[in-house]
């Protein structure tokens, strides 16, 4: 039996940084990872996918260069082997950076293998038994594969496997119209593939307000992506030159199928029963406001706890745990204001409540919208798709939420994120003097146009 001050299972965006903080405090820490350091973000999520998005945007800009007076002779060719290699390089560099960082830490033991609980303070890995008074779970999530007719008869792709493609699909059918599916749909359309999106629900990006969802669909359709919402009876079959995807209203002749119907936590093979750790019906580990599980001395961080599904929320889980356990603070998950982005082009930046949620809350609210066609920077760049939207509380004057679908929307939203976290009222922001010409300079104007609903 090997003893440590703490054991961290999973090397995503929370566990490794918490382990490093504990080592700085003089603790002896075991970090266990079954495959690669960095978790989903580094290996199969943000870093490789946004690298691919950048390649796809480069192709799109080159293809439309004549609009800007830049004429390129011949057809724009895509070398998918180079595209793939570039994404893999970004991933490997980030992974190696973590390996080098941990190698220089006295007190850190990195173990590659599959960890399982043998008791509330004990785990086994590679035939060895480890024990610690504190155990942290940061095991992440993986794609969900729905039980659809014929799905086991075809070679489908997931968000993990598609990033390794080194040739262009003739026709990519994307099953699922949420954030992951939409990013890959636009990406591969810009690479030159025919793309169809099949979504069971009535709209794309179902978490968003209807006007945002409609605008997202308009962006994708404008680039030639075929969208099928309200699709039922989805089934698959092999064909002579690929895969047939059939729904109640369409039949698609695809060469490749991407399953993007959600993710589930990697908690089913950890031996949680042996430790007495409780999960919900979806497999997410139940935690309190400090990320502690029902078992004393065990915490769950990141995607596996169901309290956030993003790299930044996972990292914030680390910040909360470190502040509470190492710095004597009392930080809570419920204090977090949720923000995220959808990385289609133009991107969507989102924070706080949607209009639907704000209306349902019973508050007296105010709403303002502004099309990107009325933003100088968007016109100068020739990228006027989308719009800005903000919701505020008419009585407290606090901003409740915002959505910016448009050029640099993923960056512009941070002005509102910061204001909401600081508790700044919207009238105070109206007196700011922003830089011209930017997209952010329209935030005071947007707030000045708030009207009661």
For residues 299 and 442, give the distance between their C-alpha atoms in angstroms, rounded to a whole number: 42
- CB-CB contact of 135 with 277 (8 Å): no
Return the exposure string of 227-248: e unless at least 16 CB atoms fall within 10 Å of the residue's CB, then b. bbbebeebebeeeeebbbbbbe
Q: What is the DSSP letter of 238?
A: E
For residues 407 and 75, give the distance between their C-alpha atoms in angstroms, rounded to a whole number: 26
- CB-CB contact of 297 with 135 (8 Å): yes
3-state helix, strand, coil in the chain (%, to 5): 35, 25, 40
436 is catalytic: yes
Task: Look at residues 130, 91, 92 and name the one whose alpha carbon lies nearest to residue 9.
Answer: 130
Helix 46-63 vs helix 80-103: crossing angle, to nearest 10 = 150
Reading the block at residue 295, the tokens are 């078992």
Contacts of 220 (CB under 8 A, 6+ apart): 182, 185, 186, 189, 197, 204, 227, 344
| Terminal-residue alpha carbon distance, the chain | 64
* Sequence-distant contacts of 43-49: CB under 8 A, at least 24 apart: 43/91, 43/95, 44/159, 44/160, 44/163, 45/159, 45/311, 46/311, 47/87, 47/90, 47/91, 47/94, 48/87, 48/88, 48/90, 48/91, 48/163, 49/87, 49/159, 49/163, 49/183, 49/184, 49/187, 49/343
For residues 35 and 62, give the distance between their C-alpha atoms in angstroms, rounded to a whole number: 38
- CB-CB contact of 141 with 304 (8 Å): yes
Q: Is 418 in a helix, a strand, or coil?
A: helix
- CB-CB contact of 294 with 273 (8 Å): no
Return the exposure string of 188-223: e unless at least 16 CB atoms fall within 10 Å of the residue's CB, then b. bbbbbbbbbbbbbeebbbeebbeebbebbbebbeee
CA torsion sign, 404 to 405 to 407 to 411? positive
Annotated catalytic residue within 164, 312, 414, 436:
436
Question: Which residue numbers are catalytic?
Answer: 436
């Amino acid at each position: 039996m090997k003893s440590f001050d703490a054991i961290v299972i999973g090397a995503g965006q929370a566990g490794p940084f918490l382990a490093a903080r504990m080592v700085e405090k003089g603790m002896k820490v075991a970090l266990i990872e079954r495959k690669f350091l960095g978790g989903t973000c580094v290996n199969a999520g943000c870093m490789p996918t946004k690298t691919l998005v950048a390649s796809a945007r480069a192709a799109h800009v080159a293809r439309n260069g004549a609009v800007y007076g830049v004429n390129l002779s011949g057809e724009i060719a895509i070398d998918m082997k180079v595209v793939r290699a570039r994404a893999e390089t970004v991933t490997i560099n980030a992974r190696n950076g973590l390996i080098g960082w941990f190698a220089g830490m006295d007190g850190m033991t990195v173990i590659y293998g599959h960890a399982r609980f043998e008791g509330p303070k004990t785990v086994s890995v590679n035939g060895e038994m480890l024990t610690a008074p504190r155990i942290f779970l940061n095991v992440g999530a993986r794609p969900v594969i729905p039980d659809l007719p014929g799905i086991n008869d075809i070679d489908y792709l997931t968000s993990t496997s598609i990033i390794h493609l080194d040739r262009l699909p003739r026709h990519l059918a994307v099953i699922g119209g949420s954030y992951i599916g939409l990013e890959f749909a636009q990406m591969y359309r810009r690479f030159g593939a025919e793309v169809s999106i099949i979504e069971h629900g009535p709209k794309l990006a179902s978490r968003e307000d209807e006007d945002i969802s409609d605008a997202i669909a308009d962006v994708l359709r404008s680039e030639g992506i075929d969208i099928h919402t309200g699709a039922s009876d989805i089934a698959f079959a092999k064909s002579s030159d690929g895969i047939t995807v059939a729904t109640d209203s369409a039949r698609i002749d695809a060469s490749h199928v991407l399953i993007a119907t959600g993710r589930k936590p990697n908690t089913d093979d950890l031996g949680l029963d042996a430790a007495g750790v409780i999960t919900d019906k979806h497999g997410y580990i139940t935690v309190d406001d400090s990320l502690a599980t029902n078992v004393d001395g065990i915490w769950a961080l990141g995607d596996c706890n169901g309290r956030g599904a993003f790299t930044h929320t996972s990292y914030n889980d680390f910040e909360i745990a470190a502040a509470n356990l190492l710095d004597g603070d009392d930080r809570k998950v419920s204090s977090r204001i949720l923000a995220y982005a959808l990385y289609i082009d133009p991107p969507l930046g989102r924070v706080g409540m949607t209009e639907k949620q704000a209306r349902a809350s019973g508050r007296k609210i105010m709403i303002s919208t502004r099309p990107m066609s009325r933003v100088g920077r968007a016109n100068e760049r020739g990228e006027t798709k989308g719009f800005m939207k903000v919701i505020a509380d008419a009585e407290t004057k606090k901003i409740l939420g915002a959505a910016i679908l448009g050029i640099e929307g993923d960056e512009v939203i941070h002005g509102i994120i910061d204001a909401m976290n600081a508790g700044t009222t919207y009238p105070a922001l109206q007196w700011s003097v922003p830089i011209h010409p930017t997209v952010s300079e329209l935030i005071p104007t947007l707030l000045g146009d708030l009207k009661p609903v």
